[in-house]
């Protein structure tokens, strides 16, 4: 049986509603790919009315395959790190299968600066990324995951020590909720700030400051869904200069104020 990925709903606005409306699940890739790939994600839906889902994107590249009902014809695109909140409206019946790379993990496949993709959604380019080895959206979850394993393995990612370092550093920011400042983080890991900035731009596609702020903002969304909050105290905890800045950033990514979001998910 395919191994499940870690259960982490950070970035998904109102995850409980998502699970009520569609079949959403995550699976781990084959072992040799796990250094670069966070998980595979699959969504199936049959809807009588349109459903809009909003996401606060992770600092990660996704490769997305969409079925058009013909197992031999699939649309595929590469989705760079999204600076803005992502919205999608699902209608009728469909299926999407995606690869969420670890932040920094797409660099060995792309072989160029990942910053080229930031904020963009592009058809998979000609050459090695032109098409899947076999249809991805057909069959069972196991069939889809096996097809994704084969596809990524066939793309033959280059050995990339810089990308490996970027993956490790971003994971540290994600896991350690006390990381708030770039200079302190760089000193803790013995990396000059300027080099850290170049590494993140080249391998992740955004700056280390942006990555820190995005993960801390996801935590604000996560906490708002659980219980009433002291927003002034949370702003200080997350490294914001004041409550107004946190509320402004929260509203920009969630589309509603913190208070309105909290009411909507309870």
Q: What is the pLDDT of residue 6?
A: 61
Most confident of the following: 9-13, 147-151, 194-198, 214-218: 194-198
Q: What is the mean pLDDT of residues 247-265?
A: 84
Q: What is the pLDDT of residue 2?
A: 56
Q: What is the pLDDT of residue 75?
A: 80
Q: What is the mean pLDDT of residues 44-60?
A: 92
Q: Is the pLDDT of residue 70 over 50?
A: no
pLDDT in tens, 98-118: 999 999 999 999 999 999 999
Q: Is the pLDDT of residue 132 over 70?
A: no
φ and ψ at residue 104, rounded to 5 degrees: 95, -15
pLDDT in tens, 215-226: 999 988 888 877
Q: pTM for this structure? A: 0.90
Q: What is the pLDDT of residue 71?
A: 42
Q: Is the pLDDT of residue 20 over 70?
A: yes
Q: What is the mean pLDDT of the chain?
A: 88
Q: What is the pLDDT of residue 16?
A: 86
HEC states along 147-191?
HHHHHHHHCCCCCCHHHHHHHHHHHHHHHCCCCCCHHHHHHHHCC
Q: What is the pLDDT of residue 126?
A: 59
DSSP code of 4?
B
Q: What is the pLDDT of residue 133?
A: 58
Chain Cα centroid distance, residue 147 = 21
Domains of the chain (ranges; CATH) run 15-154 (2.60.120), 161-265 (1.10.10.60)
Residues contacting 74, CB < 8 A, separation 6+: 65, 66, 67, 68, 132, 135, 136, 137
pLDDT tier for residue 233 given thresholds of 50, 70 and 90: confident
**CA-to-CA dists, residue 100 to 39, 49, 81, 181, angstroms:** 6, 28, 11, 26
Q: What is the pLDDT of residue 5?
A: 59
pLDDT in tens, 170-216: 999 999 989 999 999 999 999 999 999 999 999 999 999 999 999 99
Q: Is the pLDDT of residue 119 over 90?
A: yes
Q: What is the mean pLDDT of residues 144-170?
A: 93
């Amino acid at each position: 049986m395919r191994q499940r990925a870690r259960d982490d709903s950070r970035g998904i606005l109102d995850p409980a509603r998502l699970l009520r409306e569609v079949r959403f699940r995550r699976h781990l890739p084959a072992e040799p790919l796990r250094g670069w790939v966070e998980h595979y994600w699959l969504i199936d839906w049959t809807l009588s009315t349109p459903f809009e889902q909003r996401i606060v994107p992770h600092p990660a590249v996704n490769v997305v395959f969409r079925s058009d009902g013909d197992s031999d014809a699939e649309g595929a695109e590469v989705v760079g790190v999204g600076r803005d909140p992502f919205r999608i409206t699902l209608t009728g019946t469909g299926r999407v299968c995606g690869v969420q790379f670890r932040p920094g993990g797409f660099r060995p496949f792309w072989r160029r600066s990942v910053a080229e993709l930031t904020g963009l959604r592009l058809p998979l380019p000609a050459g090695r990324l032109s098409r899947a080895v076999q249809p991805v959206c057909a069959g069972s979850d196991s069939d889809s995951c096996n097809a994704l394993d084969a596809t990524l393995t066939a793309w033959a990612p280059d050995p990339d020590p810089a990308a490996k370092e970027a993956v490790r550093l971003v994971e540290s920011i994600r896991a350690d909720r006390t990381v708030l400042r770039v200079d302190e983080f760089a000193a803790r890991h013995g990396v000059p700030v300027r080099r850290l900035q170049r590494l993140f731009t080249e391998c992740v596609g955004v700056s280390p400051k942006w990555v820190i702020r995005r993960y801390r903002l996801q935590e604000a969304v996560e906490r708002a869904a659980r219980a009433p909050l002291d927003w002034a105290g949370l702003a200080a905890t997350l490294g914001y200069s004041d409550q107004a800045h946190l509320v402004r950033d929260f509203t920009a990514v969630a589309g509603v104020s913190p208070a309105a979001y909290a009411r909507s998910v309870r």
